[in-house]
Amino acid sequence: MTSSAQRGAHRSSNSDGPLLRALTTIPALGYLLIFMAIPLMLVISYAFLTSGRFGGVRLPVTFESIARLTQPLYRDVLFTSVLTAGAATLLAFALGFPAALVITRLSPTWQTVALIAVVLPFWTNFLIRTYAWIVLLNREGLINHGLSNVGWGPIDILYTRTAVVLGLSYA
């Protein structure tokens, strides 16, 4: 029974494999091109155009916007943004990677339960989750209440960089 039928199927999958795999990437690459690469190129090209009278952009091409990034105000804002994004990325990785590692080592039943527990909060509206963070981080919130119970007193977490990093890591 391990005759020509199995060998034929095996031969067919080997010969069609690379071409078929290459063809299946075309929709994903098209999606990335349309929704990521083209808008990114438009934003970059807008950086080299001049501001229009009513907020649009127009020719001629200049480096004025790029040179403005070297001014102290813009440089500091850019540095703070990159630092905040980096901290949020590191926190998300530090929490997410070990959690994913633990989930992979669970039995299939508990993997399903853990994945549902991870994904379920994302089914709620983003605005509701943001307000939940405000409730948690508020001066009278759950986190400060717990800190007060152990004697660390209430601290101002809300509207700080720490709160922004926590919110970005969760989002």
Mean pLDDT by 10 residues, the chain (171 residues): 52 68 92 96 92 86 88 94 97 96 96 94 88 90 90 87 92 77
The domain boundary, picked from 68, 85, 120, lies at 68
pLDDT for 27 equals: 95
pTM of the shown model: 0.69
pLDDT for 57 equals: 87
Q: Is 107 in a helix, a strand, or coil?
A: coil
Question: Same structural domain for residues 22 and 52?
Answer: yes
pLDDT for 81 equals: 96
Question: Same structural domain for residues 81 and 51?
Answer: no
The domain boundary, picked from 53, 68, 83, lies at 68
pLDDT for 116 equals: 95
Question: Same structural domain for residues 122 and 62?
Answer: no
Q: Residue 52 sits in which domain range?
A: 1-68
Nearest CA to 154 among 131, 133, 137, 134? 137
Question: Same structural domain for residues 97 and 168?
Answer: yes
pLDDT for 66 equals: 87
pLDDT for 115 equals: 95
Q: Is the Cβ–Cβ distance between 66 and 47 less than 8 Å?
A: yes
pLDDT for 14 equals: 54
Question: Same structural domain for residues 98 and 155?
Answer: yes
Burial of 104 (0-12, 13-18, 19+ CB in 10 A): exposed
The domain boundary, picked from 12, 34, 68, lies at 68
Contacts of 48 (CB under 8 A, 6+ apart): 61, 62, 63, 65, 66
